[in-house]
A and B are shown apart, each in its own frame.
Chain A
Amino acid sequence: MRKYVPKNNVQGKAYYTDRFWVSPRVPRTEVKDAHFSNVIDALGDLAKEHYVEIGQLVVHIDAATNFEVMTILKEVCGYKQCSEQSAVDYLAKDGNFELFWQLLNYDEAKRVRVVTRLEQGMAIESIVPLFKSANFAEREMFDMFGIKVNNHPFLKRILMPDDWEGHPLLKTYPLFGDEKASWYEVDKIFGKEYRDIIGPENRDPGKVDIEDTKRFARIGYEVPFGTEYSEEEQEIEYSETALVNYNKKASKTLDERK
């Protein structure tokens, strides 16, 4: 049977995968470290699943309990800094976002990653009252994934323009931007009525329009700005400079004089 590939994931994919190839997994170990055990004890039932992956404790929690968990981690376990927070898009696979918070305990030099699953359309509680760094991080998450954050002081797009449509880091969002993105600047600067005149934004850096004589030179077929397109090579009269004669006719006259 052919392998199922989610249709709504437009990101880069391997063009060939051996059919018998099974990807190994990074080893996950039991929590043996004394400090991490204390963290697990402090969290109690709030920690649904926990293991150590590449030296850091990973704790899975329910999305609704995130503020409670963060409070315990900060007040009881000494995790005073939230280094990073963002999401991973698993909508194509199971309709969820995976959210993670990366916390740091300065005294013990230990890091914990709190992971949760959030259904599409659900909102998450803001942790700005605990960690002010979450202010920008949550805004970025909202901007990139469209995940709403409850009780955030100023939930607004941060990297993309305010009137941008779509959320760029979703797997459904193509790398070169979607249809709306290609018209964004035309619509904003000139208005929708200019769409036909200006055309969509070209997001392909390698594109060469052979009939376009107004933008880039076609090497070997250079023509003066805005001339009619023709397939034949056209002779161009260059202006003469003191040192170099670009025009062939002029160089012939020089030869004769010699």
Chain B
Amino acid sequence: MQVANKLSPFFENLNFERDDNTMVINFGPQHPSAHGQLRLVLELNGEEVVKAYPDIGYLHRGIEKMAENMTYNEFLPTTDRLDYMAATSNNYAYSLAVEKLLGIEAPRRAQVIRTILLELNRVIAHLFFVATHALDVGAMSVFLYAFREREFAMDLMEDYCGARLTHSAVRIGGVPLDLPANWLENAAAFCDKVDYEIDHTYGALLNENRIWKMRLEDVGVISAEDALSWGCTGIMLRGSGVKYDIRKEEPYELYPELDFDVPVSDRCDSYGRFRLYMEEMKQSTRIIRQLIPMYKKTEPQLMAHAPKYISAPKEEIMTQNYALMQHFVLVTQGMRPPKGEVYVPTESSKGELGFYIKSEGEPYAYRLKCRAPSFFHTGLLQELLVGTYIADVVTIIGTTNIVFGEVDR
């Protein structure tokens, strides 16, 4: 038995002093397939996992605590750091929750831009998933191809907001900027490119690949009932045959006007989920294509007109005294939403990303709870991994598509 002392206070990776034949191994938090800081303690019987204990908290930054100490607009850039693969979806989910609380709606052009950005972020995150999932399972080249297209998408994001990962591209009440010249043409070209690559590169490399199918088929099987009970959302749920997409069922933004399909798989395994990711990317490009003509029909207003909560446009601030005064108050004191509580779910690339905000009428949120999809998908691992083999552990972690910025918050 090892005795912990000051010189070696931590558990050793291996523990051989057990009477039974099981071995306890420590997976992570620095494992390259741990998708961040996931520490898994696995009890193995031979190569079979008998018990799995996901240990999280290595990336805990107290974002919910910070939300209680920041005004609503101050907190917005912090949400970038939740799901850093698709930062705009976090910005949007937070902004939408605050907007619901304030009872305001973004102007039409802002809605078009937001929806394009949300779908673009979905493509970015899904490309990242395909790349890293393939890399985890052992297909190196897909990683390179998928990252090439992801880079184009990030260039588009950079053209729009100047940032590649932490966008803050959505603000409470609208968007900060209009689209730059030629951006829509570039976006359309990107959609064509991605559509082509999905079929001809990633799809051609993986869809019918024997090794890929052997590694993914019937691995990480979740029944629909379990998926619901464990709080699975997004593709984790649709991969188990439950057709529920918040964009369709509880529509927000421009989704009710758009024509897109919600792919569902009843395979319940990793392969089905992988195909869903590929199909969702196609649906996202389809949505972006529909939004491009819609943009041209909109008025140029970008931020909602709500003087109590939202600053006037820069032009007005610089020319009109009252707008300047109101801007000064909003910047120095922060907006004060009405008393009340709100929970707003949105469909991020990982699943249901929701913000619960409790406002006591102060410029600081009294309580902000971020409902992160990955947090619940990590909880699922303790049941999903039991009975599988050690070689499949990495595949299953990959297929849950967890991002630790969001799990630990």
Residues of A within 8 A of B (CB): 11-16, 23-26, 28, 53-54, 56, 58, 80-84, 86, 88-89, 100, 102, 106, 109, 111, 113, 131-133, 135-137, 140, 144, 157-161, 168-169, 171, 173, 175, 188-191
Nearest to B383 among chain A residues (CB) is A132
**A106-B228, A136-B379 known; A175 vs B65 contact (CB < 8 Å):** yes
Task: Offer 14 A-B interface pairs, CB within 8 angstroms, sorted by A.
Answer: A11-B364, A12-B71, A14-B363, A25-B340, A26-B101, A26-B339, A56-B343, A83-B354, A84-B343, A84-B369, A102-B371, A132-B226, A132-B230, A161-B57
In the complex, the chain B residue whose C-beta lies closest to that of A110 is B250
Q: Is B68 a contact of A11 with CB atoms below 8 Å?
A: yes
Residues of B within 8 A of A (CB): 6, 9, 56-57, 60, 62, 64-66, 68-71, 100-101, 103, 226, 228-231, 233, 242, 244, 249-250, 333-334, 336, 338-345, 352, 354, 356, 358-364, 366-367, 369, 371, 375-376, 378-380, 382-383, 408-409
A81 to B236, CA, bound (A): 14
How far is it, in angstroms, between the C-alpha of A111 and the C-alpha of B246 when the chains are bound? 12
Known interface pairs A109-B249, A159-B56, A161-B57. Does A12 touch B68 (Cβ–Cβ under 8 Å)? yes
Question: Whole-angstrom distance between the alpha carbons of A49 and B251 in the complex?
Answer: 28
10 shortest A-B CB distances, which residue pairs?
Answer: A23-B361, A26-B340, A133-B231, A136-B379, A12-B69, A109-B249, A159-B57, A84-B371, A24-B338, A88-B367
- Shortest Cβ distance from residue A5 to the other chain B in the assembled complex, whole angstroms: 11
- Residues of chain A with a CB closer than 8 A to B359's CB: 26
CB pair B364 A12 closer than 8 Å:
yes
B89 to chain A, nearest CB (A): 17
Q: Which residues of B contact A102 (CB under 8 A)?
A: 343, 354, 356, 371
B57 near A88: Cβ-Cβ < 8 Å: no
> In the assembly, what is the distance between CA of A116 and CA of B371, in Å?
19
Across the interface, do A160 and B338 meet the contact criterion of CB distance under 8 Å?
no
Q: Which of A12, A83, A106 contacts B371 (CB 8 A)?
A: A83
- List of B residues within 8 angstroms of A14 by Cβ: 333-334, 336, 362-364
Cross-interface CB contact of B229 among A100, A113, A133, cutoff 8 Å? A133
Given A23-B338, A84-B343, A109 and B376 contact (CB-CB distance below 8 Å): no
